Chain A
Amino acid sequence: MAVTKNDVEYVAELARLSFNEEEKVELIGNMNVILGYIDKLNELDTDSVDITVNPYYVENKFREDIVEKSMPLKEVIDNSPQNLEEYIVVPKIIE
């Protein structure tokens, strides 16, 4: 399953990244090296093995819903690259 230029372009679009031609060539090489190494997992028979997502079982934890003070709005809004009063400015998305 070697990574092709089409794969790189498709995955880049999913990841919201863009690359020039030279970068694409390098990425194809890099990803094939890493995936080639990763292929060694296929030496292991895992057909009857369960998956582990969290390293150990964590009980669901519940707490009372208590109203607390939120972060200072100004400090949060000031972090956005472009803002106006209490709003973050973004490009128009509805025609």
Chain B
Amino acid sequence: MELYKKTAHEIKELIQNKEVKAKEVADTFIKRIKKNNEDLGVFLYVDEEGAKSKAEEVDLKVEKGEKLLGLSGVPIAIKDNINVSGMQNTCASKILSGYRAPYDATVIKNIKTADGVILGKVNLDEFAMGSTTENSGIQLTRNPWDKTKVPGGSSGGSAASVAAMMSPLSIGTDTGGSVRQPASLCGVVGLKPTYGRVSRYGVVAFGSTLDQVGTFARDVEDCALLTETLAGLDKNDFTTADKIVPNYKKSLTQDIRGKRIGIPKEYFGEGLNNDVRKAVDEAILVFKENGAEIIPCSLPLTDYALAAYYIISSAEASSNLARFDGIRYGYRSKEYTDSLGLYTNSRSEGFGKEVKRRIMLGTYVLSAGYYDAYYKKALKVRTLIKNDFLESFKNFDAILSPTSPTTAFNIGEKVNDILAMYLSDVYTVPVNIAGIPAISVPCGISQGLPIGLQLMGNYFDEDTLFNLAYSYEKSTRWHKITFEEGGR
């Protein structure tokens, strides 16, 4: 089998057993990126030299008989809103053109310490605002399974890089589904950890009480490996939890006997595509066969989560994006006579349409006279949604649903219908409102396009999600089918 088709844990083993050099692995993926990037538009920046020299460092360690750490020379792609020292960090926005990161985000430090090899930076919706990666101010990313379809978003580049086997691993950010939805649309595994599980230091903020760094991989074992590498307390991010990171590998067993899985009827209603419904129904049977108890349930506030989400996320974004003013970094307009003009013109020329729309919405709901009616109301609804989940987790170990109501849609199909675009996140958003973890795993293919299912868990209960997802994966073949066999 070609090297690029292997999973991260397979590559790790090959390097550790001296069957292949980390340099060969890096070369293979760099070659793969060069071959496919023009077609797919995944990478915005490739650090060929850096990747090769890091790989050589790993090989030297092997030669000296030193023990390799977690990632052991496995390559990884980084969403271009996470700071990697010396690289660009565009957030796919004109407003950050020319910026070079002077430091590493904590997750990047962790990857480097764990002997991971960073290949470069991948595309996203501008400032992670979007569900298709079409809002990128730099380039279009195509779904490897069908180049006329979107890869999902906002971490579309991260998902597509793993699906196209241009990288065995990648990281992204998930504010309302931006890891799980593209994972589902590209047929890979994607996890949004619990709020506070992974540091956000060095990650460009969108919605500060919603954002979490997430992991992409070809299977659950790889996803668990990468999550363990990133997770833990960080003195530079005080929202990280002071909780021990478990050895996730221990959760990777097929045994799920006695686990109780809730199936919320609100996630199977109007708007759900029939093929997606069928695939998820079939997956539920697999969990049952493996010993889990399947119990119908209700999360009655599901329908309100998206409305609350657009208030909270836009409000937080309008505040977070105030720092982009043309002074300290990035784009500065040529047209100004005073400082106010400099701010206004730099921002108006530098931000794209969707970003401006959300800043406007966020500023509006925070402005005098509307604060109580919108922002405060949304924070109250947030309490209700959170309580809904907390009640459910008294009865269930996990809650299962589709990740996305449809498979990947056509490029351009929803760009002019903002509400339809927003509604594609309807199943992923509640998780961010509550701050709980959730994983998306491949569970079917419809007309050459992958389908994903979502498992939602209690706070800091990523172990249970890995256990259930691993058990399912071991009983099915969906994760083994790549776009080369299943796509069109």
Q: Which residue of A lies closest to B379 (CB)?
A: A51
Tell whether, in the assembled complex, residue B364 and residue A3 are in contact, meaning their CB atoms are under 8 Å apart. Answer: yes
Give the shortest distance, in Å, between B485 (CB) and chain A (any CB). 40
Tell whether, in the assembled complex, residue B377 and residue A41 are in contact, meaning their CB atoms are under 8 Å apart. Answer: yes
Tell whether, in the assembled complex, residue B327 and residue A54 are in contact, meaning their CB atoms are under 8 Å apart. Answer: no
B393 at the interface (CB under 8 A from A): no
Docked pose: A79 CA to B103 CA in angstroms: 12
Docked pose: A58 CA to B240 CA in angstroms: 9
Tell whether, in the assembled complex, residue A90 and residue B342 are in contact, meaning their CB atoms are under 8 Å apart. Answer: yes
Q: Beyond A46-B380, A80-B328, is A41–B307 a contact (Cβ under 8 Å)?
A: yes
Interface string of A65-95 (1 = CB under 8 A from B): 0000001100110111110000010110100
Docked pose: A89 CA to B377 CA in angstroms: 42
Tell whether, in the assembled complex, residue B195 and residue A33 are in contact, meaning their CB atoms are under 8 Å apart. Answer: no
Docked pose: A59 CA to B238 CA in angstroms: 9
Tell whether, in the assembled complex, residue A51 and residue B327 are in contact, meaning their CB atoms are under 8 Å apart. Answer: no
Interface majority SS on B: helix, strand, loop or mixed?
helix
Interface string of A25-58 (1 = CB under 8 A from B): 0010011011101101111101001111111101
Q: Which residues of B contact A38 (CB under 8 A)?
A: 307, 310-311, 374
Docked pose: A1 CA to B8 CA in angstroms: 53
Docked pose: A46 CA to B379 CA in angstroms: 10
Tell whether, in the assembled complex, residue B308 and residue A41 are in contact, meaning their CB atoms are under 8 Å apart. Answer: yes
Tell whether, in the assembled complex, residue A55 and residue B209 are in contact, meaning their CB atoms are under 8 Å apart. Answer: yes
Give the shortest distance, in Å, between B434 (CB) and chain A (any CB). 6
Give the interface segment out of B32-40, B109-117, B277-285, B352-360.
B352-360
Docked pose: A90 CA to B232 CA in angstroms: 40
B2 at the interface (CB under 8 A from A): no
Give the shortest distance, in Å, between A31 (CB) and chain B (any CB). 6
Most buried by B among A43, A50, A80: A80
Tell whether, in the assembled complex, residue A17 and residue B359 are in contact, meaning their CB atoms are under 8 Å apart. Answer: yes
Q: Which residues of A contact B374 (CB under 8 A)?
A: 35, 38
Tell whether, in the assembled complex, residue B360 and residue A8 are in contact, meaning their CB atoms are under 8 Å apart. Answer: yes
Tell whether, in the assembled complex, residue A51 and residue B376 are in contact, meaning their CB atoms are under 8 Å apart. Answer: yes
Docked pose: A40 CA to B378 CA in angstroms: 11
| 17 residue pairs from A and B, CB less than 8 Å apart | A15-B318, A16-B344, A16-B347, A17-B344, A30-B357, A34-B361, A37-B422, A43-B304, A49-B384, A53-B379, A54-B209, A55-B209, A58-B238, A81-B326, A88-B328, A91-B342, A93-B338
